[in-house]
Amino acid sequence: MCGIVGYVGPRPSQDILLSGLARLEYRGYDSAGIAVIDGDGQLGLRKRAGKLKVLRDDLVDHPLADGTTGIGHTRWATHGGPTDANAHPHLADEDRLAVIHNGIIENFAELKAELVAEGFTFRSETDTEVAAVLLGREYRATGDLVTAFRAVASRLEGAFTLLAMHRDEPGLVVGARRNSPLVIGLGEGENFLGSDVAAFVEHTRSALAIGQDEIVAITPAGVTVTDFHGEPVEVEPFEVVWDAAAAEKGGWSSFMAKEVSEEPEAVANTVRGRIRDGEVVIPELDGLDSLFAGITRVIVIACGTAAYAGMVGKYALEQWARIPVDVELAHEFRYRDPVIGPDTLVVSISQSGETMDTLMAVKYAREQGARTLSICNTQGATIPRESDAIVYTHAGPEVAVASTKAFVAQITALYLLGLHIGRIRGTLSPADSARSVAELEAVPGKISWVLEKEQAHIAQFSHWMADTQSVLFLGRHVGYPIALEGALKLKEISYIHAEGFAAGELKHGPIALIEPGQPVFVIVPSPRESAELHKKVVSNIQEIRARGARVIAVAEEGDAAVLPFADEVLRIPLAGPLFEPLLAVVPLHIFAMGLATAKGLDVDQPRNLAKSVTVE
């Protein structure tokens, strides 16, 4: 939540800041602002409520003097509504100092009271301005931005990434982080700071990831990183594996449309390089077999769509590795005093690698002695850095707030992990392993089939449903999390009531919701491989049909049993039961996008949301 960018170098910074903010806008889009130290050493500021476009237009109408040192921010409001005054940057020290912030400063009220008592005044309702004023006070005392930062950072409680620059020290941007993201981009005679690499990837792919409780100072000549006590620390260099074009819309109507179209590649790229002679070999886990030795259970922690990926993965892990798996929402896990220890493997799943609830749950698990493994899509992110092991998904940058290609990549990574652990534990025969590997390798082609054959049909049909007020989703077994995912996607971008249910639960209450015309999506298991379940789901369809539901079945090609009872059938290719979710979810993603588009909504930036939820 909130996107942050900083620049120092020889070039005028405004365009660099604005294009960085455009790439980070998915992190928050309530307001945006930039501050620049211009050629005369003056600090200029412009900030506006609304999306980045409002700020851009304002800068066109009323240009701001440019300069080569600057910071920029795009906000998801926490303290104080989305107004011009609450937008970042915030100024202090008689408007010579500018500060931007991501996170929540939990002790801001007491710090503010201290500052008010000393006579300081405030222009916004934000916690950020408190940090800015505190920094201004320390700067007055020390005359050195890095030293002032150290004093302030150690007084702040909560989660924060803070960037600041001072008129009296042009050519310097200082940042600090605790439990909130910040990465460094290394250029030639110029350097960058960003919430993630998207902020600077068009300028450099050479990056440094900094750790918790560290302070970074960038100048055109170099980068210095210390801890909050001023001790130098080692930083981890990495090369960004994707280029700027990967995070461009590239002719698509929306990032979401582009990302749905990339679902086949997301799976293929996540599998690539991890199969040898028909067996799963995950290079990142080389030499880490001991991580899995003696574990008696696995707990998967995640939020939202990532948690649904975990629910799908549970079936595969239990089947292949014969180990009990629980899936928990990260924010619930941490606060219920879970019984975990060294025999527990906690697997976190996060596209961004920055979700605060998941990060805190991982930290908690480690403190309790559990082993931790992170499934993550973002290099340099915090959650993998806080974990004992990482398995990256290779979905490429996901920009639309609604997660789509990352979801199929997360399931893929969990399947690879399940096959890996199954092999280590000796619970999976080579033949079964080879069969599953072959199924997994066939998934990208099958997703492409769904996109080619069904996309136009679903898009048209979602337009007919533009006035629908409520949609229900039903599934059993691995189809259940897919029903939850279908409902979440619809709520998130279409703003209509949608709920997912386990089909077997219907008669225990939800069937009362069915009235004539109620649209219900049903994820139908394969009649070939899950005959028993298939019969049960067809019975569920009949039950809701009898009460007037309008049934939209997502069913395997050739499944004729659903035809008499379904108003619409969305076809998916044949696959083994564990692989169906990777196919069945695609029509639901297309449907949610189609319905939101038909309602004239912004599918990439739905209201009230942000891509990366970095507050608890």
Q: Which residues are catalytic?
A: 2, 611
Minimum Å gap between C-beta 374 and ligand M6R is 10
With beta carbons less than 8 A apart as the criterion, state whether 132 and 164 touch. Answer: yes
Residue 350 near ligand M6R by CB under 6 A: yes
Residue 68 near ligand M6R by CB under 6 A: no
Stretch of 124-132, 184-192, 397-405, 594-602 lying at the interface with ligand M6R (CB under 6 A): 397-405
Minimum Å gap between C-beta 614 and ligand M6R is 9
Residue placing its CB nearer to ligand M6R in the complex, 350 or 518: 350
Minimum Å gap between C-beta 354 and ligand M6R is 7
Helix (H) or strand (E) segment spanning residue 365:
helix 356-367
Q: What is the C-alpha to C-alpha distance for residues 298 and 425, in angstroms, rounded to an integer?
A: 13
Minimum Å gap between C-beta 106 and ligand M6R is 21
Per-residue mark of binding to ligand M6R, 534-573 (x: CB under 6 A):
----------------------------------------
- Asked if residue 444 has a cis previous peptide bond (ω within 30° of 0), the answer is no
Residue 304 near ligand M6R by CB under 6 A: yes
With beta carbons less than 8 A apart as the criterion, state whether 446 and 407 touch. Answer: no
| Cα 73-77-82 angle, rounded to 5 deg | 90
Nearby residues of 213 by Cβ (< 8 Å), 6 or more positions away? 153, 177, 178, 227, 228
231: left (phi over 0), alpha (psi -120 to 50) or beta: beta
Residue placing its CB nearer to ligand M6R in the complex, 402 or 588: 402
Nearby residues of 133 by Cβ (< 8 Å), 6 or more positions away? 92, 115, 120, 122
| Cα 508-572-493 angle, rounded to 5 deg | 65
Strand partners, 552: 521, 568
Among 55, 153, 347, 401, binds ligand M6R (CB under 6 A): 401
Among 43, 132, 375, 613, binds ligand M6R (CB under 6 A): 613
Minimum Å gap between C-beta 372 and ligand M6R is 15
Stretch of 82-90, 298-306, 339-347, 588-596 lying at the interface with ligand M6R (CB under 6 A): 298-306
Q: What is the C-alpha to C-alpha distance for residues 150 and 132, in angstroms, rounded to an integer?
A: 13
Nearby residues of 157 by Cβ (< 8 Å), 6 or more positions away? 105, 106, 107
Minimum Å gap between C-beta 305 and ligand M6R is 3
Window 488 to 507, contacts with ligand M6R (CB under 6 A)? 488, 492
Q: Which residue is nearest to ligand M6R (CB)?
A: 304
Residues in the interface with ligand M6R (CB under 6 A) total 16
Stretch of 11-19, 351-359, 455-463, 525-533 lying at the interface with ligand M6R (CB under 6 A): 351-359
Among residues 139, 176, 182, the alpha carbon closest in space to that of 154 is found at: 176
| Site for ligand M6R, rule CB under 6 A | 303-306, 350-352, 355, 358, 401-403, 488, 492, 612-613
